Amino acid sequence: MALLTERYAEQIAGVLSCFDRIVITGTLPGICYAEGMATYLRIRGIRLFDYPRFAEPLRDAVRANAERLAAEHGLTIEFVRSAGAFREDRVQAVLAQRGTAPGLVHIFSAMEPCAAFTPWHDKGSEKTTLRYKDGTCLHYYFYFLDPEFGLCYLRVPTWAPFRLQFSCNGHSWLAGHLQQAGIAAEPLDNTFRTLADPVRAQALADSFPVERLHHLLDAAAAQYCPVVTRFAVTYHWSIMQVEYATDLIFQRQADLQPLYDHLVRTAVHAVKADQVATFLGHTSFESHQA
């Protein structure tokens, strides 16, 4: 069976595959699990039942840092009860007034689930340790514009072990590099309406700079979660979610319009989850744990 890109080659002006939404988590080695945190406290002579007393000053430091950054940038921390689409729409409204200069854009706060530990004493073994538990704490979402990666956010909890979440968008990164390379492109939402040189654009997309992204992650963690210095370690970053998109740019809207409804109906009724990654000829991705 011919691929969609082959079947409609005469109607398609360009094809571009690139990273889209990227979500990365950061954990602190040695204290991100219950026994690791317990060992950290024991070495420093801190009673495990004093764990809350140990964590509270760190919580206050994260709050103070967020308030300081807000004051320095003339921002008001906005508390939200629901996340997701509201945050994204609100940030776009802020950008419409603020402009696209690099720097901190907005700060949200929200009460959300978090990883936490609780002291526990085993009467049988007479040993005290920490146990993992699902907790809830105040989180901060720091939205900022990076000169290279565009709009990003870092989600910072106020409770140890301070598991971070970072997000950026590969389309935003690519749009900036297309502009620098002098390749005419017209963004449309999360894709491109027009693209002057798909071949050069694909070469740029394939050169996504992982090492520079790693540097950005470390810098953002140091700025927005400075309590990390207390533990004398750096964050370990791991991929939580990566979307890889293939954009098909048709010559005319009239060429796509009759095809679009057919594609949507076919996808809804015929395409299964394990076929999605092979829909345009790409090999299915497998999940591995290191």
Q: DSSP for 187-207?
A: EETTEEEEES-HHHHHHHHTT
Q: Is the pLDDT of residue 190 over 90?
A: no
pLDDT band at 10 (very low <50, low <70, confident <90, very high): confident
Q: Is the pLDDT of residue 278 over 60?
A: no
Q: Which three-class secondary structure state does DSSP give residue 143?
A: strand
Q: Which of 31-40, 223-232, 278-287 has the lowest mean pLDDT?
A: 278-287
74: left (phi over 0), alpha (psi -120 to 50) or beta: left
Let me know: does 8 contact 259? Beta carbons within 8 Å: yes
Q: Residue 273's pLDDT is what?
A: 62
pLDDT band at 182 (very low <50, low <70, confident <90, very high): very high
